[in-house]
């Protein structure tokens, strides 16, 4: 339930906050530099919030409420922003992921989000986005963990994961976290709808060197590809690009260790790299 004048926006709450800040500021006859001068924040920080490039903090919202004489309006909207569990660039991807009947993942750097332990997720996000407000960090951690519910729902998707060996060797969160994380991979692989393969570092040139990607398949329409970069990600639907991704995945399956050998390799990494 939202208050009057604070209805659920058509887009995201972050964009709603940004638009409300801009229109309220302009209605007061105040420039971005003028607003910044009435707070402890810089002109660039105000610009970033108005462009929805940066999640505002509690203190930012409190100060603009004072500067714009809006009571606690921006503090209230911020609570809605923080309740939204996915970063802006992942919202469409999260919906596609939940709808897919088959998910094929190639991950070159880290354990895929669908299989991450909470401690691993928090460590990865903390390191990758050290300036993220603590309350926002916890909401995004919870959002990533909630995505994993699709693995145990009725009629879960078939999930095929190909991991580069480096994802197993990179000790995100430390030895204890990685021990639990690799043990979880082994448990997940026991499910009949999950297959895990490993591409060894010694493997010669292969399509995965171009980066991580995911292919979602559906019963009712064509495949969709998702590729992620630093702080962003994109959905790819152009037929030629999707066909290229499917071929790349086929080639990765061919060069990876077979599923049984892959699980043996994960066990060996656990023993050799992370045992006490």
More confident: 271 or 146: 271
Q: What is the mean pLDDT of residues 237-257?
A: 95
The dihedrals phi and psi of 52, each to the nearest 5 degrees, come to 60, 30
- DSSP H stretches of helix in 6-90: 13-27, 32-37, 43-50, 58-68, 73-83
Q: Look at residue 9 in the predicted model and tell me its pLDDT.
A: 53
The dihedrals phi and psi of 260, each to the nearest 5 degrees, come to -65, -45
Q: What pLDDT digit, counting tens, does each position of 109-131 carry?
A: 999 999 999 999 999 988 767 66
* Strands ordered across the beta sheet of 213-217: 194-199, 158-164, 102-107, 213-217, 224-229, 232-236
Q: Look at residue 11 in the predicted model and tell me its pLDDT.
A: 62
Number of H helices, E strands in the chain: 12, 6
Q: What pLDDT digit, counting tens, does each position of 34-81 carry?
A: 999 999 999 999 998 998 877 788 889 999 999 999 999 999 998 887
CA distance 245 to 217: 12
pLDDT band at 151 (very low <50, low <70, confident <90, very high): very high
> Can you read off the two tokens belonging to residue 129?
């986005």
Domains detected in the chain: 13-83 (1.10.260.40), 88-274 (3.30.870)
How many other CB atoms are there within 10 angstroms of residue 259's CB atom?
A: 15
Contacting residues for 247 by C-beta, under 8 A, at least 6 apart: 207
């Amino acid at each position: 339930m939202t208050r009057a004048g604070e209805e659920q926006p058509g887009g995201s709450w972050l964009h709603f906050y940004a638009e409300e800040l801009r229109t309220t500021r302009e209605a007061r006859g105040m420039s971005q530099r003028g607003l910044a001068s009435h707070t402890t924040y810089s002109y660039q920080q105000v610009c970033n919030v108005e462009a929805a490039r940066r999640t505002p903090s509690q203190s930012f919202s409190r100060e603009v409420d004072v500067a714009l004489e809006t009571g606690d309006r921006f503090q209230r909207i911020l609570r809605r922003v923080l309740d939204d569990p996915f970063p802006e660039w992942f919202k469409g991807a999260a919906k596609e992921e939940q709808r897919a009947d088959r998910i094929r993942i190639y991950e070159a750097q880290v354990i895929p989000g669908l299989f991450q332990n909470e401690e691993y997720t928090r460590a990865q996000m903390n390191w990758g986005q050290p300036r993220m407000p603590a309350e926002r960090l916890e909401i995004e951690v919870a959002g990533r963990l909630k995505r994993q519910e699709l693995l145990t729902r009725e009629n879960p998707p078939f999930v095929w994961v190909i991991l580069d060996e480096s994802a197993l060797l990179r000790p995100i969160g430390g030895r204890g976290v990685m021990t639990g994380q690799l043990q979880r991979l082994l448990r997940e692989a026991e499910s009949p709808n999950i297959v895990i393969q490993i591409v060894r570092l010694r493997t010669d040139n292969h399509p995965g060197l171009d980066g991580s990607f995911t292919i979602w398949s559906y019963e009712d329409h064509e495949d969709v590809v998702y590729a992620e970069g630093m702080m962003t990600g994109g959905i790819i639907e152009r037929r030629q690009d999707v066909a290229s991704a499917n071929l790349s995945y086929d080639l990765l399956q061919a060069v990876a260790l077979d599923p049984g050998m892959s699980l043996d390799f994960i066990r060996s990494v656990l023993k050799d790299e992370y045992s006490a």
